[in-house]
Structure 1
Amino acid sequence: MAKFSISMTDRMAQTVQRRVEQGDYNNVSEYFRDLVRRDEEKQAAEDRLRDMLDKAEASGFSDMSFDDIWNDAEERYLKRQAAKHG
């Protein structure tokens, strides 16, 4: 397992220690592992969003109104739900 040594302000250190003392984390290492996991999840979500935006941009524009697009999506959703619970 890798080890790191980090420097932080006193205020930040107090925040970390308070979270451990409150029982939110068992120890300081657990706190930082949670931060890294959350950052990984955030990065993955941003990557998925970026990919969806790229695909949307590449697909071009639609002549459909927002309401038409919404209704079409809702209809497809309801059909999938009906088939799923069928």
Structure 2
Amino acid sequence: MSTMNISLPDGLKAFVDELVQTEGYGTSSEYMRELIRRDQERRQFKEHLLVGMRAGVEGPMDAAFFAALRKRANPARKAT
């Protein structure tokens, strides 16, 4: 595992230290890794949305379209 040192203003350092104590993070490094993972997931989600928007839709976006979409997203779910 690589090491990265960061400098924080006192207020941000205090904020991180408080969250480590109150939110159950073992260390400030654990908290920072969690933030970076969340940012990665957010960026991947954004990219998936952009790909979907660029793909376009064939046919009308009516109730049947959304029912089929829900079924594809969760095949175990019963159609409503």
> TM-score interval w.r.t. the shorter chain?
0.7 to 0.9
Q: 1:52 to 1:6 in 2, by over 3 A?
A: same
Deviation at 1:22, TM superposition (A): 1.2
Q: Let me know the Cα RMSD of the aligned residues.
A: 2.9
CA offsets 1:14-41 (integer angstroms, 9 cap, x no match): 1100011114311111001101110110
**Alignment gaps of 5+ in structure 1:** none
Structure 2 Cα separation of the partners of residues 26 and 19 of structure 1 = 10
Q: 1:2 to 1:76 in 2, by over 3 A?
A: same
TM-score, scaled to structure 2: 0.74
Alignment length, in residue pairs? 76
Task: Provide the residue aligned with 2:62 in structure 1.
Answer: 70
Residues 53 and 15 (structure 1), Cα distance of their counterparts in 2 relative to 1, 3 Å cut? same
Say which one has the larger Rg: 1
The equivalent residue for 2:36 is 36
Structure 2 stretches lacking a partner, 5+ long: none
Shift >2 Å, 4+ stretches:
74-80, 83-86
AA partner of residue 38 (structure 1): R
Q: Which has the higher helix share?
A: 1
